[in-house]
Structure formats: structure tokens, C-alpha cells
Amino acid sequence: MTALTKPQPDGTADPSSEHAPGASLHYPVIDWFDEHARDLPWRRPEAGAWGVMVSEFMLQQTPVNRVLPVYEQWLARWPRPADLAAEAPGEAVRAWGRLGYPRRALRLHGAAAAITERHGGDVPADHAQLLALPGIGEYTAAAVASFAYGQRHAVLDTNVRRVFARAVTGAQYPPNATTAAERRLARALLPEDERTAARWAAASMELGALVCTAKNESCHRCPIAAQCAWRLADKPAHDGPPRRGQTYAGTDRQVRGRLLAVLRETHNPVPQATLDRVWHEPVQRARALDGLVADGLVEPLPGGFYRLPLT
């Protein structure tokens, strides 16, 4: 790629990207982001690092429109990690509602407790300390460090991976699982300047969410369409392993969701007979309930009663 240099307000060249391999991509995408980024609450300064962390947990495998109301209720109730840590983990599961994958609620509660105990209630800025928190993986640690603290990290979610696959490698889709080659590419594309790198991380993610989508991509609105390797190759069809589809109806996930819905609606222990009515197939229902107990999402009590966890 030919490196482009963007002038600074004083007319001098910006040295942050003169030699960066992805410089010809950085500023078109960042400029597009400056104009088209959605006004989301976790992007506002008042969200702070805790607001960013909460959003990152909630947005994993869940669309923005479903996250927004739960996010706002969550931050109104628990504006700091210590506020969440002071409550029973079952309350986090209850407040999670129907966002799906409720183990994320327990992980977020565990992270809040660790932040309170280890860091005085403040989300740490250090990437290694973030990574050491329970429930925090490489993606979330990089995202919080980048979006909350403006640090230089490769933030690789599904949207970013798709943008890089198309724009740089010429593939319609990235591999099903993140590869070492993708991580190397993401690091190579990072602007040298920390602030620009953080902006690039957010901008490339937004481009994948709004323009370079999995289906019905809008190349006519893409700021880097003229450079996109996939488009220039006439959009060759995906020739890798089949894309994994997500099913829900009739799965154990659906049964688990129905069982949790009953438990969320009451603060009292629920008898087995009440849970038995939520699903007609007894073997699948028992398997789903056992899985919820094993995951720590449901606590069994003597006499065949169940509740959300208190500890």
C-alpha cells in the first residue's frame, strides 16, 4: 500500500502514520467514522471505563438495539463496579434479561468484584491487569484499553475481521476462528500513534457493522472501496469451510432461556413442578436445568426448589 500522510491543523505532516502499512486505509475510514458514527452511550465521555466494559460484555453476540435498554438500566442501577459487586450474582443474571448467553452476566459480576478488591473500584488501564480479571479475554481487554483509555491495541471482533479479510486479503469472510495470521495483520495495520490507533479500532469496527456487513454489503458507501482487494477481484465467493449459522428454536439454549425467565420473575425459590411446565420434553429439560446449575446460573435448594445464585 502507498502510505498517505494527513496534515495536522498547523499544516505539518502527521508523523504517526507516515510509515504505517495501513496508512492508506486509516484516514479514509477514520474520517468516515467522524461523520457517520452512531451516537451510542458507551462512546460518550461520561460512560467511563466501566461503561465501556459493560457494553463490551453485552455486545458479544448481541445486536446494539437489544443491548441499549438493558445497558442503560444496568448503569443506572450499578454506576460503578463496586455497586454491582455488592449485590448477589443472581441479581446480575436477573438484570441481564433476555440478552442471551447469561454466563456473561456472571463473568461481569466476577470482574466487578475483582476490580473492587484489587483496584479500589476503578477499572484498570493496564492491559495485563485487565486480562487478569475473571471473565476478561484478549478481545475485551484490548477493547477496554483502546476505547476507554485510548491505547494502541489490535481490537479484533467479527466486524473488524471481516473488513480486514475483504479490504486486505481479498476474502469474502474471515476464518471461523481468529487465526495467528489475522492477529499479525491487525497489529501490522495499527497506526503508530496511540490516539489514532484507538480511533482506527473504533472506526474499522463501525465500518464492518454499518457498511461492510456480512450480507448485502454497501460498497457504494465504503470509504475504502477503491482499495478493497475483494471488490477489485470482483468479489470472489467464499471457498472456505461453511459459515456457521446460529439456531435457537428447539435447542437447549431455548430451554435454558425459558427456565431462567421463570426464575428471573420472582425473588422466591421456584419448585421443580413450576419449571417442569416450561418445556414438554423431560430429558432435554433436565439436561438444560443441569447445565444451568453446572454453570452457576441456578442454585438448587433442598426439597426440589431452585433460585438464582446468591453467592
**From CA 268, how far away is CA 287, in angstroms rounded?**
23
Q: DSSP characters for 138-166?
A: HHHHHHHHHHHH--------HHHHHHHII
User: Which DSSP helix (H) or strand (E) runs through 306?
Assistant: strand 305-307
Contact of 150 with 194, CB cutoff 8 Å:
yes
**Annotated catalytic residue within 18, 35, 56, 72:** 56
Contacts of 155 (CB under 8 A, 6+ apart): 139, 142, 143, 146, 147, 186, 201, 205
The residue with cell 438484570 is 95
The verdict on whether 56 is a catalytic residue reads yes
Whole-number Å distance between alpha carbons of 118 and 108? 15
Return the active site residues: 56
